Structure 1
Amino acid sequence: MTYRKDLPWLSLVALLVLGGSCSPPVEESASFAGGVAFDIPDWSGRWYKGNTHAHTTNSDGDSSPEYVARWYKENGYDFLVLSDHNVLTDPEALSHIADDEFLLIPGEEVTSSFESAAVHVNGLNIPHVIEPRRSETLVATIQANVDAIREVEGVPHINHPNFLWSIGAQELAQVEDDRLLEIWNGHPTVHNDGGSGSPSVEEIWDVLLTGGKTVFGIAVDDAHHFQGEFNADRANPGRGWISVRANTLEADELMASLEAGYFYASTGVELTEIAVRPRSIEIHIAQDRDFGYETTFIGASGEMLLRTEDNPAVFHLNEDVGYVRARVQDSRSDLAWVQPVFVMRR
């Protein structure tokens, strides 16, 4: 069953093309429909599964760096960032675990604060420890830590904005030179879904996109607890991840793809293909047992453009709506998020 809501003023998201066998795509004219067409991603290569937020005994995790790295390798991940608080857990010390099929990327959770607000910004692919910075306002503190990561040619992503109800859309909209935001974090106390009058992080994402900021949404574990029981009250691994399209399993390639939005985020739903054509988006979902799937295409201000249970899910572009992103939910409530790809107007 398919439901559609056309809103002429909305901004449209364009999506990814995942590798996988399927029927040949329907050819579309490259000409603009009504003066608009999707800005098709310029990507190639294959898809790599990874996690960019995990902790070890070098900060507040319960397991050694070697144990954590092996957990991800043995559970089918292609890459991992160990992101201890204000500590660089050096991948070189774990070189006996890494190989052609599993990459460890140096990282750190640069951990600062402003008054009662937590300011945590992950630095990916950094060369050394980055000292956390503080400043005279919340926005300035976030910006200072983003800048510190950029200064060493690292890639920043702003973490769990609803943790301690710390960072809102108004603050995030003012930060510059950041392109990645945690829209889902597996720690049990970060309030992904909002509450107490605060919006969900996904709603914050739409506010930023609607306001014209280019930012992509990632899902992470923020894993701390690898020992003992796995339950909802513990920060266990395997809950949130990304699948990144790149030509090779190399840190620079993965970072470039992340910042271009060439990935999808997930808490369990896997996609086999996301095809962006001049006037359509088509998402193929990997069937898991007898699960059902619902795909929602979302535009500016979080408005629903189309909701469908079809697989593949297809959205057709008929007008200038700015951006479109998609959320896929299965009948177990696992999710996948397809990144916004924007609409060009002639």
Structure 2
Amino acid sequence: MSHRLSAFTAPGRFWRGNLHTHSTRSDGVLEPAEVCRRYRAEGYDFMALTDHFIGTYGYPIVDTRPFRAEGFTTLLGAELHSGPMANGELWHILAVGLPEDFTPPHAPDFHVYPGMESGPEIAARAVAAGAFVAIAHPQWSGLTLADARSITAAHAVEIYNHGCAMGCDRPDGFSIADLLLTEGRPLSLIATDDAHFSEPDHFGGWVMVKATENTPEALLVALKSGNFYSSQGPELRNVVVEADRVIVESSAVASVIVQGAGTGSKGVHGHSMTRAEVPLARLGNSPWLRVSVIDAAGRRAWSNPVLR
């Protein structure tokens, strides 16, 4: 019996968007209007401005609605901070689709204070308020598996952060995501910019969201449903999981790799491949599978996991 990923069966079309961005309302260098203009000029269909939600910056949930235009929309959001994590630093939790009146935590700045709301608590509050919530840049944050386990309300893990890639060579969230998946957590996987425009941290990782229309409401429903994939450039066009293989259709790539729990993985390699069949014999009874494709320039696209 075959299973086709929901991103390729849901009605609508794909919309390209960035879910993690900063402006002068926190520690970014461009005004909100200019950040939105640049994403629109670069061909994005939507973006979320997610400035740091701490007292130093006035707990901003920036109103980007004035910067919407035909063919381009924005989602309101913020990067939430409270804590601490196991390493003694504040949590970084991405929340897209927050209401403007979301109650701030007691987070005057990036230091830890007695009696602060925990990371799991603020993540759960954000989900209850209607937001799509992701654990931000696990590698950069120094996140432990115990930390990650505690955020039970999150929809997703940020598996690629372009700003962390360019600024400190710590872009990865796959290790944490894969371990949580193996423990049965139904998570999706997002790639983002985390753009501050103070270094080459922009237009490097995005989500392709399948929705019937390019509106905040439709995009949020699709994000929460996992109807998207993430990319640095390549396009995923279909992913079908069968009993003994995964069939992947994409733009031209050089490698198609299927990963599963533990050491389970298998790749197929070639030239300008637009369709590949990856046998599953080496993945055993993995409770989940995900797909990576890599083009000749080394750019990747990643599917959401399939729970088996």
TM-score between both structures, scaled by the size of structure 2 = 0.83
Q: Which residue of 291, 312, 315 maps to 2:275?
A: 312
Aligned equivalent of 2:17: 50
Cα deviation for residue 113 of structure 1 reads 3.8
1:274 maps to what in 2?
238
Other-structure match for 1:170: 146
Higher relative contact order (CA 8 A, sep 6+): 1
Matched, 1:301 2:262: yes
The percentage of counterpart residues that share the same residue type is: 25
**How far apart are the structure 1 equivalents of 2:201 and 2:181?**
30
- Within 1, Cα distance between the matches of 2:149 and 2:30? 36
**Residue aligning to 2:189:** 217
Q: Is the 8 A contact 1:130 1:148 kept in 2?
A: no
Say if 2:207 is the partner of 1:239: no
Counterpart-to-counterpart distance in 2, 1:252 and 1:214:
22
- Separation in structure 2 between the aligned mates of residue 55 and residue 40 of structure 1, nearest angstrom: 32
Distance, in Å, in 2 between the alignment partners of 1:161 and 1:81 is: 20
Match of 1:89 in 2: 62
Per the alignment, do residues 116 and 321 of structure 1 end up closer, same or farther by CA in structure 2, a change over 3 Å counting?
closer
Structure whose residues are more often helix by fraction = 2
Q: Does 1:62 align with 2:29?
A: yes
Structure 1 contact 216–340 (Cα < 8 Å) conserved: yes
Unaligned 5+ residue runs, structure 2? 54-59
8 Å CA contact 1:219–1:265 kept in 2: the answer is yes
Alpha-carbon offset, residue 264 of structure 1: 0.9
In 2, distance between residues paired with 1:136 and 1:302? 41
Aligned residues: 284
- Post-superposition CA distance 1:267-298 (Å, at most 9, x none): 22233x114265454322223xxxx5211111
Q: Give the Cα–Cα distance (whole angstroms) in 2 for the partners of residues 118 and 185 of structure 1.
A: 18
- Residues of 2 paired with 1:189 and 1:235: CA distance? 8
Query: How far off its partner does 1:206 sit?
Result: 1.1
Moved over 4 A (4+): 133-137, 277-280, 316-320
SS of the residue 1:300 aligns to: coil
Amino acid at match of 2:120: Q
How far apart, CA to CA, are the structure 1 residues paired with 2:203 and 2:72?
16
Structure 1: gaps of 5 or more residues: 1-31, 194-199, 227-233
Match for residue 92 of structure 2?
120
Question: Which of 1 and 2 has greater Rg?
Answer: 1
Aligned CA RMSD, in angstroms, stands at 2.5
